[in-house]
Amino acid sequence: MRSRPTHRPSVSMVIIDDNPGSLELLSTALAGDDIAIFTAQDPEEGLDLIYNKHPHLVLTDLVMPKLSGIQVLEHVMEFDPAIDVILMTAHYTSETAVEAIKKGASDYLNKPVSLNVLRERVGRLVEDARRRERSLQLEGELTAANEFQGLVGRSPRMWEVYSRIRRIAAHYRSVLVTGETGTGKDLVAQALHRLSPASPGHYVVLNCSAVVETLFESELFGHLKGSFTGAITDKVGMVEHAHGGTLFLDEIGDMPLSTQAKMLRVLQNQEVQRVGSLATRKVDIRIVAATNHDLKTAVSQGKFREDLYYRLSMVEIHLPRLTERLEDLPLLQRHFISKFASQYKKDIRGMTQRAQIVLTSHSWPGNVRELENAIGHACIMTLNDMIDVQDFPDYLQSMGGVRPFAQIQAPGQTGESVSFEDYERTLIQQALATSNGNQSQAARLLRIGRDALRYKMKKHRL
C-alpha cells in the first residue's frame, strides 16, 4: 500500500487490484496535485483503507482472490452509498455490468482500459466530489450566517421570528411566546433578554409545569418566616430575584388560577407581595411567558384568566413547527453535528445521503429538540467520520430500512442507559464473537479498519 500526496487534498481515492502492475499504471495515470490515491493489492486491505480514509471514489478490479469486486461494492454501499465505485474487468459481460449498476456502481469498464477514457470518467466523478466537498464547506458558512442568538434557520418563517425579536427586544415589558414543544421558545426568551436594556440583569427561569401548586406562590413571590409550616426563614421569590432583569415563565398555561391573579398585579403595577406579608415591594422586571397550549381555548374553558391572557398576548411571537420549515433541516443538521462533534471531541464530517433521507422523511413530533437529541445520539454512537442510519436511535433506524449491524445486538436496545465506552466495548466484543475472533471480519462488521479495531481493542483491554 502507498499513498500520495502528503498534504491534505480535496479529493481521495482508493484503487484495489491484485495485479501490482495495474496498480502502478492506474495510480500514475490518475495522479494529481489535489488527489490522494491509496492502493491495495488485497481487497480486504482495500476495505480497511476505505473504512479508515473514507474516500470519495473507489476503483476496483472485479475478479480478485478473497473478495470479488461485486462484494467490495456491496461493502462500500453498506458503509456509505455516496462513495462512487468504478468496477474494472477483463471478463466483461452485460449481465455483470447490469448487476454492478443495480448494486450501486457508478461505472463499469472493460480491461484493458483506455487511459483517456479512464481519466475522463474519473475526472467527472472527481469534479462531482469536489462540488460535494465545497457544498459541505458552504453549508458550514451558511449555518453561521443564518444563526441568530442561538436560533438556526433561513426560512421565511424564521426570518419573521428574528425580525419580531429585534423589533420587540428594546421596548417590551411582557411577551407571549407560543409554539409546540421543542420549537425553541426558551431560545427566543434568552434572545429577548440579551437584546433588551435588561441584559445586564438576571435571567431567571421558572418552569410552571414543574412546581407543586401549594408552593407556587412561595417560589414566585417569596414568603416571610413563619407564614406557613416549613417557612423557617424569609425567602426571596423569583420575581424579586429577577429585579432589573428578565423572568421567563415557561409553560405558563400550567400556572394555577389563584397565582395568575397575583401575576397580573406584578405585570400591571410592577410590584410583588411576599406570602405572609402585608407590604408590597417595587420591582423592575421584564416577563417572557411561553406556552405550547392554546390559551384562547384555556380561557374559554375557565382554566386561564382572560385579563392575564390579553395582557401577555399584546405582543406575541409564534414559532413554527419543524415540518413547517423543512428547508432549515440541512442547516440544523450541520449546526448540531458541529456542536456535538466539538462536545465529544470527535472528527465528524457530516452525514450520509441515506441518513439525510431518513431525517427528511420523519414527521418530527418533537420538533427541533427531537432532531437535536437524534443527532446527539448519532454523534455519540458513530464509529466513523460520517453519521449513518445505524447511528440513529432505533425508531429512526427502522425508518431507514438499513441495519448494517444486524448481526450484532448493540447494548442499550432494551431501554437501559449505557455510556459510550460501554457501548463501544460491547459492540467490539460481539463483533469479535460473531466473526470467531477474526479481526478482519470483525472490522468489516463494524465498518472500521483493522488498525482502528486493534487500537480500540487495546483501549478496552480486549
Residue 403 has pLDDT above 90, yes or no: no
Residue 324 has pLDDT above 80, yes or no: yes
Residue type, position 190, single letter: Q
Write the pLDDT tens digit of every residue in 25-73: 888 888 876 788 999 999 989 998 888 888 889 999 998 988 898 999 9
Write the pLDDT tens digit of every residue in 8-20: 457 889 999 998 8
Give 267's Cβ-side CA count (13 Å radius): 23
The answer to whether 75 touches 441, Cβ cutoff 8 Å, is no
| Mean pLDDT, range 430-457, rounded to an integer | 78
Decide if 3-143 and 156-319 have a common fold.
yes
Confidence of residue 407 (pLDDT cuts 50, 70, 90): very low
Any alpha helices (H) in 111-184, and if so which ranges?
115-145, 156-169
Cell of 451: 488498525
Task: Give the residue, 435 or 331, on which the prediction is more confident.
Answer: 331
Cell of 99: 448487476
Cell of 252: 405558563
Confidence of residue 140 (pLDDT cuts 50, 70, 90): low
Alpha carbon distance, N-terminus to C-terminus of the chain: 28
Q: Give the CATH number of domain 156-319; options: 3.30.70.20, 3.40.50.1970, 3.40.50.300, 3.40.640.10.
A: 3.40.50.300
pLDDT for the residue numbered 371: 96
Instruction: Single out the residue of 372, 314, 365 nearest to residue 340, CA to CA.
Output: 372
pTM of the shown model:
0.70
DSSP line for 225-280? TTSSTT--S-EE-HHHHTTTSEEEEETGGGS-HHHHHHHHHHHHHSEE--BT-S--
Contacts of residue 270, Cβ cutoff 8 Å, sequence gap at least 6: 282, 283, 284, 285
Q: With b meaning 16 or more CB within 10 Å and e meaning fewer, what string describes 210-247?
A: ebeeeebbbbbbbbbeebeeeeeeebebbbbbbbebbb
CA angle, residues 69, 71, 76, in degrees to nearest 5:
95
Write the pLDDT tens digit of every residue in 254-267: 999 989 999 998 99
Q: Is 198 helix (H, G, I), strand (E, B) or coil?
A: coil
Domain boundaries defined on the chain: 3-143, 156-319, 324-459
Stated as kind and residue range, the H or E segment containing 375 is helix 367-381
Work out the number of other CB atoms within 10 angstroms of the CB of residue 417.
Answer: 6
Instruction: Single out the residue of 181, 205, 164, 177 nearest to residue 313, CA to CA.
Output: 177
Lowest pLDDT segment from 220-224, 286-290, 334-338, 456-460: 456-460
Residue type, position 337, single letter: I
Confidence of residue 429 (pLDDT cuts 50, 70, 90): confident
Distance CA 61, CA 395 (A): 38
Lowest pLDDT segment from 29-33, 173-177, 419-423, 454-458: 419-423
CATH number of this structure's domain 3-143: 3.40.50.2300
Confidence of residue 318 (pLDDT cuts 50, 70, 90): very high
Domain 324-459 -> CATH class: mainly alpha
